[in-house]
Amino acid sequence: MAVEPWWIVCPGSILEADAKIASKVLTEDERRIVDTLLDEGPQAAGFLPIPVVHSLLDRGLIYLDVPVVESDYVYVAPLDGFVMNRVLGDYFETLLYKIFVAIDDQTTVKEMAEMLHIDFYLVANAISVFCRLGFAKKRVTGMETARLHYSWAQVISVPNSPTQEDLVTSVSGDLGELSASLASPGGDDDDEEQAAQVNNYSAKETTPQPSSEAPSSASRTAFLFDSSLAAFLMMGNLSSSLKGHAVTLFEVGKLADEQMRDFLEQLECVNHFAEGEAQRYSEHAIALLDILRSLRKGREVDMLRGESLLSLDKQSRVRVLAKSYGIVVSMAPLSFDACTVPPSSLPFIGPPIPEACSPWMRLAIYLAAGSGPASVYLPRGTRLSKLPASVALSP
């Protein structure tokens, strides 16, 4: 299990019998950490030896709390190897997917809860689960400048997320600075300083507000797509690394502009096919690349899956879109279920109503214009012994 330095290590339910057994089985470092947790309370994992934390976790003597506070900003990391077996009617799973599509690294957890009209503690618990599973990351954890225990030098990894460039308090990306900030193995002074830092951290997590010079998220463009696009990218033999983004597009229902650079690079590397079903997949990828390049010339672009927005009620949809975007542009053709932008909620380049995406709209246009290909609509299950005359005689 990958433990983050900002996670809180808490003592488990340690009985007297467990303590007697532990005194014989545990190492000196493990006993010292357990005693510290029992005497002083929960500690940030970054201030403790990470091998000891893993060992105590395996023994069931501690557990980890992943704290999420009102002022936290989070973003969704690419879902590598993610597989989800959805269970119909599961309330918490439905909640997770609602929050997935609403997560915005320019929106605090409190603002997200208010937009969705969901209790803050439910949203915080859901995001805590995302962080624990590695699906989401905090923009600022409060541990960026802390002196970590020296053992973290072997396991720490600084996220290579483009969102880090926009942090007010940036994560220390330079490994030299990181090594210099790690605490030495011993010393009473270090222990006292570490204890003070733990107390300050446990008392209150503070997250800097975004810089006033940072571009507003409402200036972004939302590119609306449907599940067929994600399926083309996922099923087509276009690029092995592209499938990870396709999973994110389908499961999360959103790909933020911060991840767009890597996504475009993967689209540029797709295999081009000249025939068969593979040609259709590659043509979709090429068209998507051209569209995103054009849209990103003027402003930042997020990709949104229409069916994921449908999991939100109408008013929540309006609030989420209005908070983050200045205009919505849809792919064409767009499936009926993906037409989820409420009329007049914000500038929208796409179908004015969901019915405009239906086959019936095509038939209405053919009829009104007195032109178009020969068309016949038949009930599902109808058996034909021969083609209808209007179709058989058409050129």
Determine the pLDDT at residue 372. Answer: 84
* Whole-angstrom distance, CA of residue 278 vs CA of residue 283: 9
What string of DSSP letters covers 80-93?
Answer: TT------TT-HHH
Determine the pLDDT at residue 216. Answer: 54
- Is residue 146 within 8 Å of residue 201, measured between CB atoms? yes
* Whole-angstrom distance, CA of residue 37 vs CA of residue 35: 5
Determine the pLDDT at residue 354. Answer: 81
Nearest one of 330, 337, 343, 379 to 358, comparing CA atoms: 337
Strands in 301-305's sheet, in edge-to-edge order, are: 254-255, 301-305, 220-225, 325-330, 348-349
The label of the residue with tokens 């006033």 reads 212
* Whole-angstrom distance, CA of residue 163 vs CA of residue 141: 13
pTM: 0.73
Determine the pLDDT at residue 341. Answer: 83
**pLDDT tens digit sequence for 293-312:** 999 998 899 999 999 998 89
Instruction: Kindly give the parts of the chain with pLDDT less than 70.
Output: 18-19, 22-23, 80-88, 157-218, 236-237, 274, 395
* Whole-angstrom distance, CA of residue 305 vs CA of residue 88: 20
**pLDDT tens digit sequence for 230-286:** 888 887 567 777 888 888 888 889 999 988 999 999 898 887 776 777 788 888 888
Determine the pLDDT at residue 336. Answer: 82
Determine the pLDDT at residue 81. Answer: 64
Determine the pLDDT at residue 26. Answer: 82
